[in-house]
Structure 1
């Protein structure tokens, strides 16, 4: 029985060695899978750099409109929209006219002339970029007459 008793601890030692080797293999496999997944993300799913700026397309000229200012004054405003190349065939200018009327209505002559005019134009341009979801990249005043 001593021979059998001596062999039993050897089998237990071998079993522990296999368990440790199994854990090492499992860890190596998990690390390899994570590395492959990371590489796959890096090459295939990684977002590309910043979006390129929009390219100018056609210019849509809108009919002039008269906007009431404060103090019985008015503004005759004509607009042209610089569309992007991704803009659809039928871009409706109604949203642009509505935004311009909303922006300029009720302002004083001083608020629409001079340096304020450029600030209002920038504000209108930003609003149109949002309203048209990237189809409009600029706005031009084709007519700007106050009285």
Structure 2
């Protein structure tokens, strides 16, 4: 009696192939789900830049500076088109008073220092008005 080995059938080879197919199917599903989630959840990009609306000119104010000097300051606010109504300039004037009061005349006469203060005021004002104002202009700037 000889024992013959049973020839290997496709049944033994099938688990390898079916595992491979299962892994490929899972990977394909994960890729499809990932791509779908990316399209749904992707960032919208940068918000659109605000469009300039009307300019609101505020009455000039006088501020006390260091050393007994003063500054006559006039401001205008650049509204955005999304502003619901004309903005009240009181917040901008209050911010300007806080920023410029007590400054020295020599600091304000230097263009670079004055521009730095204007930039700081502009950032403060745009934050205070929450999208209704996009910038400021000096309409008057006189020191004595």
SS of residue paired to 1:71: helix
Structure 1 outlier segments of 4+, above 6 Å: none
Equivalent of 2:128, from 123, 131, 138? 131
CA distance in 1, matches of 2:117, 2:86: 26
Q: TM-score with structure 2 length normalisation? A: 0.77
Aligned to 1:28: 24
The yes-or-no answer on 1:109 pairing with 2:105 is yes
- For 1:92 and 1:21, the matched residues in 2 are separated by 74
Moved more, 50-59 or 16-25: 16-25
State the secondary structure of the residue aligned to 1:91: coil
Between 82-91 and 62-71, the greater mean CA deviation after superposition? 82-91
Name the Cα RMSD after superposition.
Answer: 2.9
For each residue in 1:97-138, what CA deviation from the matched residue of structure 2 results, as whole angstroms up to 9, or x when unmatched? 111111101011111223122221122112222222333221
Unmatched runs of 5 consecutive residues or more in structure 2: 1-5
TM-score by length of 1: 0.75
Aligned length: 141
Unaligned runs of 5+ in 1: 1-5
